[in-house]
Structure 1
Amino acid sequence: MNAQGQIEELKEAMKYAKDHRLYERFQAVYLFLIGYTRIEIAKIINRRRQTVGTYINAYKEKGLKGLELGHSPGRPSKLSKEQKATLFEVITTKVPADVGFTARYNWTLALACAYVKREWNQDYSIRSMSDVLHGLGLSYTRPTYTLEKADPEKQKEFVEKTFADVKKSF
């Protein structure tokens, strides 16, 4: 296809591009074909010159197909599938006290982070751990209230015996 045909093809593609990022790629190549330099294009679309070069090279190799958006997988997980399976099993079948967190009977995001750090030496922020647990199909809730006037002896018995037994049964 000649240069004028390529320009017309890109104009048409830009008309029907529904995704902003795809439109930007078409625009970058279009501007290149009508005579702008990569540096000028980078300033116009607010991208790096190297990015513009990537778009142009992709177009030269594969045409419009080369500019289509692919899947961006993101950063690889810090935990392997086996480690995630172990984490899931521990959180769903044990209380924190069972795995060495004394006087803890509810899992929190902070405890899950501490467990992962201790077991596999991987640091997670609270937010990232929330994402990991969500990916495993788990959710968490916050306590809604505490009983300030409750009998401390009964509370201690509940935490140490009753609640621990109920939690283990799930």
Structure 2
Amino acid sequence: MTEARLDEVKRAMRETNDKRLYERYLCISLLLSGYSRKNITEILGRGLDTIGIYIQDYCTSGLEELNMEHSPGRPALHTPEQEQVLYRTLVEKTPVDVGFPAKMNWTSGIVRKWIKNEFQVEYSERGTRELLYRLGFALLDLPTRWPKLILSSRKYSNKNSKW
């Protein structure tokens, strides 16, 4: 029985082009070949918890369970309610309305500071831009007299804009 399972895993390893999936298959292959979980963690360079998840998924549902559609990534730093508050604030107010000095347009830097002040959550510049993009905003590069990037709703922005 173990030989048949091992053959199935090795066949799957040969057929996949996905590096992450290959690593999961390799984990199961090593387990079925008699390696301990501790040895597998050393070979793959993954934590015991990660290896345990791979093994549990395989034991529960077979090879299919190891195939992830996408990486879930890091959990969101904010709640859906906070996201709605952010969206409404950006659409309905200017930076001056929420306490920033004499700024008529939202920049990713101002949004980042507002999020930190309002929700006590700190985003990187890139993380802020990605959040804004997910909310439906685009960053527009303006002429040199306005060197900062300004937010604009994608539905109203120029289709030929850089973003």
Cα distance in structure 2, aligned partners of 1:17 and 1:113: 41
Superposition CA RMSD, Å: 2.5
CA–CA distance in structure 2, aligned partners of residues 72 and 100 of structure 1: 38
Alignment correspondent of 1:17: 16
In 2, Cα distance between the equivalents of 1:65 and 1:26? 10
- Name 1:92's counterpart in structure 2: 91
Structure 1 runs of 4+ with >4 Å offset:
none
| Larger RCO, structures 1/2 (Cα 8 Å, 6+ apart) | 1
Deviation by residue 1:17-73 (Cα, 9 ceiling, x = unmatched)? 221111111112112222233333333322234433332333223222232225543
Q: Where do 5+ consecutive residues of structure 1 fail to align?
A: 148-170
- Greater percentage in helix: 1
Partners of 2:39 and 2:79 in 1: CA distance: 44
Aligned residue number for residue 144 of structure 2: 145
Change in Cα spacing, 1:85 to 1:18, as seen in structure 2 (3 Å) is same
Q: What is the rounded CA distance, in whole Å, between the counterparts of 2:58 and 2:129 in structure 1? A: 40
* Aligned equivalents of 1:50, 1:88: Cα separation in 2: 37
Identity of aligned residues (%): 36
User: Could you tell me which residue of structure 1 aligns to residue 128 of structure 2?
Assistant: 129
Between 16-25 and 138-147, the greater mean CA deviation after superposition: 138-147
Q: TM-score, normalised by structure 2?
A: 0.73
Deviation at 1:137, TM superposition (A): 0.9
- Rounded Cα–Cα distance in structure 1 between residues aligned with 2:49 and 2:113: 41
Please identify the structure whose Cα radius of gyration is greater: 1
The number of residues matched between the two structures is: 146
